[in-house]
Amino acid sequence: MVKNKEINIAFLSTFPPRECGIATFTQDLVNELKDIKIINEPKVIAIDDKEYDYGDDVIYRLKQHDRNSYLELANKLNDLLIDLLVIEHEYGIYGGEWGEYILDLVDNLKVPYVVTLHTILSNPLDKQKHILKELCTKSKRVVTMAKNTIPLLVNLYGVDERKIVVLPHGVPNLPTLSGDSLRKKYNIDAGKFVVSTFGLISPGKGLEYGIEAIAKVKEKHPDILYLILGQTHPNIVRSDGEVYRDFLVRKVNELNLNDNVKFVNKYLTKREIVEYLKLSDVYLTPYIGREQAVSGTLAYAAGLGKLVVSTPYKYAEEILSDGRGLLAEFKNPDSIANCISFAIENPHEKQIMEEKIKVYGKTMMWDNVALEYVELFLRIFEDLEDDAKEAV
């Protein structure tokens, strides 16, 4: 039997300092696995879209847009003392059409791997479907972060249900000052009702609908304040510049919301994220895509017991079910405004929802999630040993 301390895991993912939600996710998981010390310290193969100055966790770089790099990585992994590769999958982080170069890697990989899915499309293009189907077919396990994606994986992508494992998106457990103290720190009036959205900004976030909703809420509740926290996604800046942010700023001006909407244009540290969430009354995700299988920002809000108002993408539907939050219609400022107004005008009901999501959020803390990953890895090695015995 493989001893726990002899198990060597590597993650294939974007990784800080690259500014990407999946990079942060992987760094948090790797750090927690190092802290609990059950298996050897995991290593990272970082996906590069340019040169980054990584720390010691990164043992190799995959050049995102260089097809030869994928075959070179497969050969490298086959020679390294890596027992299991964890592939973080999102269509935008691998090279080729819809990230098809990742298949060159798995087609030549002799090391067993797990794939973690960050987006699961219900109406994929043929190429998108092919890529995900191939990744899942050849993997030992398929990790998804929402139970309601399982039927999609089974029925549309043909994934063996026995392979599918549901593991929560982790949430950092950082101590913070009180909400009142944090408002003073960030120069926010104590009497403001604060709604916030954070993360890398891109058109799919639907922030224009959030801004329009704030204009409607303001009519009855002039002390509303909407914080839009985060810089524009680097890929969007490279392709389109700040067109989307400029559009949002114009909308704020047109709706006379300069005292009600504040942009914080920077890439937030984890501590800043947690502090801004702590001082907020409501967390808003007005995303326009139903497909989103996970949202790290919503997970953070849930972990802190914040009332969340969200459009009903897959992850939000699951996390906010059973009275744990409020769902608004896609691309509908009136619906979003009604949810925010309900939270303002019904403090008792708001508190009940916050208590429910706080209980749920405790299961999402990174220390608990990392232990679930370790259990997953150990089960895979038990299966591999059983398979080896049967083959003899």
The token pair at 305 is 């017991």
Domain ranges of the chain: 4-170+365-391, 179-362
Q: Which CATH superfamily is domain 179-362 in?
A: Glycogen Phosphorylase B; (3.40.50.2000)
Cα 87 to Cα 283: distance, rounded to the nearest angstrom: 30
> What does the H/E/C string look like for 257-308?
CCCCEEEECCCCCHHHHHHHHHHCCEEEECCCCCCECCCHHHHHHHHCCCEE
pLDDT in tens, 228-252: 999 998 888 888 999 999 999 999 9
Residue 261 to residue 192: CA distance in whole angstroms: 12
- Determine the Cα–Cα distance for residues 252 and 195; give it in Å rounded to an integer: 15
**What is the dihedral angle through the alpha carbons of 331, 337, 338, 343, rounded to the nearest 10 degrees?**
130
Helix or strand (DSSP H, E) at 276: helix 270-279
Neighbours of 255 (CB within 10 A): 16
The helix or strand, by DSSP H or E, that contains position 184, with its residue range, turns out to be helix 179-185
Decide whether 4-170+365-391 matches 179-362 in CATH topology.
Answer: yes
The answer on pLDDT for 354 being more than 80 is: yes
Intra-chain end-to-end CA distance of the chain, in Å: 16
**Stated pTM of the model:** 0.86
CATH 3.40.50.2300, domain 4-170+365-391, yes or no: no
The pLDDT value given to residue 295: 86
C-alpha 392/C-alpha 380 separation (Å) is: 19
Using DSSP's 3-state secondary structure scheme, residue 115 falls into strand
Give pLDDT tens digits for 59-96.
999 999 999 999 999 999 999 889 999 999 999 999 99
Q: Is the pLDDT of residue 29 over 80?
A: yes
